[in-house]
A and B are shown apart, each in its own frame.
Chain A
Amino acid sequence: MKLLYFAWIRVKMGTSNEIVDPPSTVENVQNLIDWIVRRNSVSSETFSDLTTIRVAVNQEYVGLDHPIKPGDEVAFFPPVTGG
């Protein structure tokens, strides 16, 4: 599974992407975030306020209950500010 980070989330995480292999109990976006934040303090600080984070799975906006599977591209980013 590929994780992508953008804007201040990328800066805080210290990387724009990483390949991860979460356990099979990680079935949706919320499970994935819970798994990510347990890894280290940088991750837990970055994801401490989920109201400031948007999620896309395979380049479509999704909610926290959206299912995920191996091979998915999961992106985390702040609310968008283009235009």
Chain B
Amino acid sequence: MIRVQLEDFDLGLELSNLSNGNHQIGGMVSFVGLVRDMAAGDSISAMTLEHYPGMTEKQLAEIDQTANERWELNASLIIHRYGRLEPGDNIVLVACASPHRESAFDACHFLIDWLKTKAPFWKLEETRDGGHWVEAQTKDDVAMARWMK
């Protein structure tokens, strides 16, 4: 399941909804991405996430489906926020439930690596010098490449 939203999310509530009393589930792994107050030595006062409505949902749904085909999962969830966020705010949640921990860890790691290079979001950081667009990083492509096999 995927959601793209302005609102914050509650990790505990989301995990509890994800397991939903399914006793086949042996473990759940979650990743939560947060806004940092520093980037490349600059102090960040806020960050605005822009996205491409329509394509974002399409890309996230494709990534989610790929993870479910590749690993044995009982359930998976991607929530990505957009709009203006401040340091400490939640940006993204990826959670996977599986009968076995290996699948849950791997699928969760795969999902966050893939969405970083596929989902059409862009970050505008606000610093003392004004706003600047975050540049894509080669290390994200490298992180994604390890799953291409």
A binding-site residues for B, Cβ under 8 Å:
4, 6-8, 10, 56, 59-61, 75, 77-83
Contact = CB atoms under 8 A, between A and B. Distances in A.
B119 interface: yes
Given A7-B124, A77-B52, A82 B119 contact: yes
Given A6-B122, A7-B124, A56-B120, A81 B135 contact: yes
B134 A81 contact: yes
Contacts of A4: 52
Interface of B: 33, 49-52, 54-55, 58-59, 80, 91-92, 112, 115-124, 133-136, 140
B112 A77 contact: no
Contacts, number: 71
23 contacts: A6-B122, A7-B124, A59-B54, A59-B55, A61-B118, A75-B52, A78-B133, A80-B116, A80-B120, A81-B122, A81-B133, A81-B134, A81-B136, A82-B49, A82-B92, A82-B115, A82-B116, A82-B119, A82-B120, A82-B122, A83-B92, A83-B112, A83-B121
B9 to A, nearest CB: 15
Contacts of B120: 6, 56, 75, 77, 80, 82
Contacts of B49: 82
Given A59-B58, A59-B59, A82-B116, 18 more contacts: A4-B52, A6-B122, A7-B133, A61-B118, A75-B120, A77-B120, A77-B122, A78-B133, A80-B117, A80-B118, A80-B122, A81-B123, A82-B51, A82-B80, A82-B121, A82-B122, A83-B33, A83-B92
Given A6-B52, A7-B133, A83 B116 contact: yes
Contacts of A61: 118
